Structure 1
Amino acid sequence: MNNFETSYLAMLMSSSFFITIAAIALLRPVAFKIGLTDQPSSRKRHQGEIPMIGGLAIYFCITYIILTQSVNVPVNMAFFTAVTIIVVTGLIDDFKDLNFKVRLAAEVAAALIMIKLGGVEITSLGNLLGFGEIQLGMFSTLFTVFAIVGGINAFNMLDGVDGLAGSTSLIIYFLLSIL
């Protein structure tokens, strides 16, 4: 990576951080006003109401970055559309407990948008078992949907424990950055 790319990446990361912080500051009073807050429970050690706006703030940051820094528009628009479906479904679920079938349908729809419109699909598992490359063939779309929906639900389960989803995401981000 040359100096320009490093500088651009550093600028993009720092601006993303500050955009997210600004969005949290702007959304916080709104969350209290409309009741978009989390209450303490046996799994949660926080005191008082906590606004449930972290994901929405990150969504606003992603929206800004895609609209201003977009390089590959079809993939970014597919990603943006899929993320929008997930965020809207999550917001509705936070206000009004959605049936798991509705949430699952939204997740599958988002995954299919990424696959069909964004061209993001797992076609091979590589040399997973040591006997040569495993091609998924006609099962690649099904496997990709399963992987995406599984990832979404895994993070949704982690999100129930204070700080676990954020710290896990940070570790995954750093590991992917190294790769």
Structure 2
Amino acid sequence: MLVQVILFTTLVSFLITVLLSPITIPFLKRLKFGQSIREEGPKSHQKKTGTPTMGGVMILLSIIVTTLVMTGKFSAPTAQTYLLLFVTIGFGVLGFLDDFIKVVLKRNLGLTSRQKFLGQILVSVVVYFILQQMDFSTTVSIPFTEYSLELGYFYALFIVFWLVGFSNAVNLTDGLDGLVSGTAAIAFGAFAVLAWNQSQYEISIFSVAVVGAVLGFLVFNAHPAKVFMGDTGSLALGGAIAAIAILTKLELILIIIGGVFVIETLSVILQVISFKTTGKRIFRMSPLHHHYELLGWSEWRVVVTFWSVGLLFAVIGIYIEVWL
């Protein structure tokens, strides 16, 4: 019965996104919600100017509706279900505001860094206080060992760092057609397996609802993309996967399963540090996916390679948690 619920959840979420797309994409075009492309980015990206963005709204609607309906069919939405939806919606709203400022108010940078950062911290702090009310454990398990680290009150800082960090990491990765859609589907699929292994079925249902939503979006986001998810989608997905890792007490396993997001973020950090300290760049351009583009790789080759690496990381993460 549960297997059927998981499969049906994925299918329903996929179909909702696919059915919403032919309605939403023309609507975004009529509103002129087109993406502005950075002039300093790869020249090949200039042709993407005007492609509808804010498509993450479709992903969010699909996740919310599917999660509530399917958890209701299976049992009843739990506190964990509502917390996951709160994080997803909270970061999604921040992303929506950022996108709205970019495409409607024509301010290409969207929210200021401080505004976005404060918003992310606010959502994260609320999550911490909700977890406190749930008497949630403040320990962090160390992979490859049987040890756990008790953080006590410092767990609040950890929660903020994890949610803010991974929401931004996924956001940085969202730079090529289909890149985040594919890597997110793989990462959330891995956590669906791990949540299932822990008998946390409501988290597994939420995870596959995300998988179905992003795969449905990928139908229209694969190269050449007809729509972009924007910060509305990428910030929400990053916050959601960090929240899943926290609720399953697999916080540090996320570093492995979300390895592509981590590497992309590190490439930006290293590039900035190198340029500010030595005046030299390590990569031709960061995040890392742009480096390979400038080496002459086609966009599709870069995306498929990163998907493959993401799949490898997901398998390793599952292996460590389930079999080691």
TM-score, length-normalised on structure 2? 0.48
Mapped to 1, the partners of 2:65 and 2:5 lie a distance apart of: 16
The amino acid of 1:110's aligned partner reads: V
Does residue 49 of the first structure (1) align with residue 46 of the second (2)?
A: no
Mapped to 2, the partners of 1:73 and 1:130 lie a distance apart of: 30
Mapped to 2, the partners of 1:106 and 1:120 lie a distance apart of: 25
Per-residue CA shift, 1:32-79, capped at 9, x if unaligned?
122222245644376453221431111001221243234334333333
Q: 2:8: which partner in 1?
A: 11
Name whichever of 34-43 and 123-132 sits farther off: 123-132
Alpha carbons 2:68, 2:77 under 8 Å: kept: no
The amino acid of 2:172's aligned partner reads: M
Mapped to 1, the partners of 2:66 and 2:29 lie a distance apart of: 27
The alignment of Structure 1 onto Structure 2 pairs a total of residues equal to: 176
Q: 2:125: which partner in 1?
A: 112
Q: 2:87: which partner in 1?
A: 82
Per-residue CA shift, 1:112-142, capped at 9, x if unaligned?
2333225596722323585932111111111
Quote how far apart the aligned CAs of 1:154 are.
0.1
* Closer/same/farther in 2, CA of residues 160 and 122 from structure 1, 3 Å limit: farther
SS in structure 2 opposite 1:98? coil
Alpha carbons 1:124, 1:134 under 8 Å: kept: yes
SS in structure 1 opposite 2:141? coil
- Counterpart of 1:133 (choices 124, 134, 148) is 148
SS in structure 1 opposite 2:148? coil
Mapped to 2, the partners of 1:22 and 1:30 lie a distance apart of: 14
Quote how far apart the aligned CAs of 1:30 are.
1.6
The percentage of counterpart residues that share the same residue type is: 22
The amino acid of 1:61's aligned partner reads: S
Alignment of 1:1-179 (within 5 A): 4-39=1-36, 42-43=41-42, 44=45, 47=48, 49-70=50-71, 71-96=76-101, 97-117=110-130, 119=134, 123-128=138-143, 132-179=147-194
The amino acid of 1:24's aligned partner reads: S
The amino acid of 1:38's aligned partner reads: Q
Cα root mean square deviation, aligned: 2.6
Quote how far apart the aligned CAs of 1:145 are.
1.1
* Closer/same/farther in 2, CA of residues 59 and 120 from structure 1, 3 Å limit: farther
Mapped to 1, the partners of 2:8 and 2:145 lie a distance apart of: 41
Mapped to 1, the partners of 2:139 and 2:47 lie a distance apart of: 43
Per-residue CA shift, 1:129-175, capped at 9, x if unaligned?
85932111111111011001100000110113332212221221233
Mapped to 2, the partners of 1:68 and 1:120 lie a distance apart of: 27
* Closer/same/farther in 2, CA of residues 125 and 67 from structure 1, 3 Å limit: closer
Alpha carbons 1:121, 1:141 under 8 Å: kept: no
Name whichever of 96-105 and 157-166 sits farther off: 157-166
Q: Higher relative contact order at CA 8 Å, sep ≥6: structure 1 or structure 2? A: 2
Name whichever of 108-117 and 4-13 sits farther off: 108-117
The amino acid of 1:108's aligned partner reads: I
The amino acid of 2:28's aligned partner reads: A
